[in-house]
Structure 1
């Protein structure tokens, strides 16, 4: 028979029973021991819903601990949903039935039960699958990155004056970081004062801000075809028309760009100039000049997404012309970020543009999200300003170089073809000779995530191509699956 513990004598008996024992030699904190003991009693129904807990003073006296220890333990139990605090009355056991009830089982969705589209791929990429199980992922595996570098930055930030961490950030972003980005852009021969730079929550927000600033429902945006898939869904939400420009080995098909621009009068053309996603190709100087000429002729802006900038070794190895270098941010809006090289979770990106447009975009950012997270921006600033970043990306490039040729040869030995054997970047754009939507469906059943080519085109028609992340091809099971599938 259970007691509801409304009487003090009964309540004291429960808390003093042998099962409730605090050890000062166990190594565990007193607070955590109290939390675990009370929580287990509630889970085991020894403390019923609505039961009043001993007062802080009473609990401290009976258990021989400080009142501060009891206060912290009770606060943690409240945060965990075990207790509730009633002002002037004390702490009571909280109703947990509704919190612990489990929803009806949901059958795992596969390509048979849901449409394989952009949302499908992003949802699966965010499922926290092991990185070596996701050859279709767009980021580097954890063990390719430097967690200590980010952790050290966070620890350094935590030692700052707490007041610096509690207020909003500034509208355009952390000024020292923007000053550091000025130096970074100068190395690319892009002149941009800090007033021309706006920090964003990754390149994703940067694209969203620019698109909302310059387009309205019914307007046209040009993208590469193939291109980064997330744009398609984002732009479709607010009613723009997305048209693909065929991507060749040295940039877009500029004749097609001019032909379609004359017909559709686009507001924006969004392109990767360096290490294009998903082909890892880079723009030639001639194509960069022709893009600018066409943009001026048909009066549209060029949005240059250079998020893979730091994975490129430089022009000595592979041509790497930035359109912004030729244009100097007159008709070009330049985007960059650090999610691919530092940590996706930092969500630090930036926009470089004209001073006037930087102010307008900062106002739009303020109205949508107030400010970006200055804590993350301070971490990135510390890593950049102390010189650690350059060595870090050098190590990533060397490691990518060490596996690229071997993976290309092995892929081709399976009967697939690598469209462009580029000497840099993390992606291979492969021709499989089979419907990669079906291939992706089969892979998901085996616990692997692929990126079918259909998702990289605005029309999202079935495709025999597939993007492969060479950093995520270390699992023998991936190769076993591909060998069986290609056979």
Structure 2
């Protein structure tokens, strides 16, 4: 190895960790064939002395180069340049520019398209198509503090499997949270999940068989359509009105299809941010009882609602007390999507079956995230955090509504809580989404929110992302 080359690549004034600089410099020498396979690297002491760094820095650098496939460690002999595998060669070939290809067909605007493009965005970047709040609205320092506190706990507590039902102190905390909603659920009736997505999957796998029918709101959260279809289930949409489902349609379709489940957002429905009325809630439960339907009440936006005292909203789980209703919740919308902590509350017998099914799929959920959520919930700071989020949404929502209406777009209902507006653009929003994507702007067209996937003039907008000037420039450019 040429010491002067490596030495020249190391700068103590750059602010970049020395180990990062060493790894990059050595890797470059190997990629450029200046260091051949089998060549012996200087010993840790020799490298440290030659480059004026500590042996600890060299150890860290060598270990990372081993992990990345550049070096191999031979016990008692030292470190050697590793033969670059065909895997690496193939990867480089795939990354290298190839011959020009014929233009690809325009991408199909489906659920996978939207999710794929949401995840391609820079982390924390606000998007009008997203179903989460911008990162700067959330309590990053609070979560980081909780993580540090958990990291100081005895190591043995962090190294084993969790409880199949979930971290017990969190379930006890959730028992208190549900009691505030007038839902009685003991800890053994609560099963933690990897977000609401796994919760829906567990319920569907446990209660349905291929060929069964599942009812959903129309419109509704699009991801579950594909998830249910992958299980061989028939997904049927029930028209959603401002105060809940169309009861005449629900009763008629229940007689026709005999569904196993009906998945519904009672509070802050996605995508309209409307809530179920008390009259509708009782009628939905009556129809479910008559036709033997299990209600799955997805209340993922629960904590964004100001409460019954401030705004009317009725949940079915308190009325039914988890006999025919399964209640789902989580913290991806209010704390952090990356924590992936959700939960199911159900009857004791069903909760045990769901915990068993969870074990068959994942053994347990990781209780590291669950410990973080428990710490935040139990220390009393969560309530203040929610008040700040709601106040910020309440400030953004009226401005967003005024701007939308000023552009000639129509709102069938004016939500007074939540993060979404369900907007009628008066034209096929799949076409709009394709045009917006050409400008690097992601929209959520209405067709994705219906199990029929038919063209729609609606689209969902996130009021927390309305500061993006590109969105307004695009909407303003549309012909009237």
Deviation at 1:82, TM superposition (A): 2.2
Shift of 1:167: 1.3
State the shift of 1:38 in Å. 2.8
Q: CA RMSD in A?
A: 2.5
Aligned to 2:465: 472
Which residue in the other structure is 1:446 paired with? Answer: 439
Correspondence list, 1:45-444, <5 A: 45-56=33-44, 58-59=46-47, 67-87=55-75, 89-96=77-84, 98=89, 99-103=91-95, 113-129=106-122, 134-444=127-437
Structure 1 position 458 matched with structure 2 position 446: no
Q: Which runs of 5+ in 2 are unaligned?
A: none
Contact 2:446 2:457 in 1 (8 A): yes
State the alpha-carbon separation in 1 of the partners of residues 122 and 8 from structure 2: 39
Q: TM-score, normalised to structure 1's length?
A: 0.91
Normalised by the size of structure 2, how large is the TM-score? 0.92
Report the alpha carbon displacement of residue 164 of structure 1 after superposing the two structures with TM.
Answer: 1.4
The alignment partner of 1:19 has SS state of helix
* CA apart distance, 1:374: 0.8
SS of the equivalent of 1:184 reads helix
Partner Cα separation in structure 2 for residue 471 and residue 33 of structure 1:
39
The SS at the match of 1:351 is strand
Distance in 1 between the 2:105 and 2:14 partners?
A: 53
Alpha-carbon distance, 1:83 to partner: 1.3
Cα 1:277–1:111, aligned 2, differ >3 Å: closer, same or farther? farther
1:56–1:196 distance in 2 versus 1, CA, 3 Å = same
Contact 1:317 1:423 in 2 (8 A): no
Instruction: For 1:296 and 1:89, locate their aligned partners in 2 and report how far apart those are by CA, in whole Å.
Output: 74
Q: 1:377 to 1:193 in 2, by over 3 A?
A: same
Give 5+ residue unaligned stretches, structure 1. 1-10
Question: 273-282 or 407-416, which moves further after superposition?
Answer: 407-416
Q: Residue 133 of structure 1 contacts residue 448 of structure 1 at CA under 8 Å; is this kept in 2?
A: no
Partners in 1 of 2:51 and 2:107 — Cα distance? 56
* Secondary structure, counterpart of 1:270 in structure 2: strand
- What is the total number of aligned residue pairs between the two structures? 474
| Deviation at residue 30 of structure 1 after TM alignment | 5.7
Q: Alpha-carbon deviation of 1:45?
A: 3.6
The 2-side partners of 1:215 and 1:308 are apart by 25
Encode CA deviations 1:128-165: one digit per residue, 9 max, x unaligned: 24766621111111111121111111111111111111
2:477 counterpart SS class:
helix
Contact map agreement 1:132 1:474 (CA 8 A) in 2: no
Does the 8 Å contact 2:6/2:22 carry over to 1?
A: no
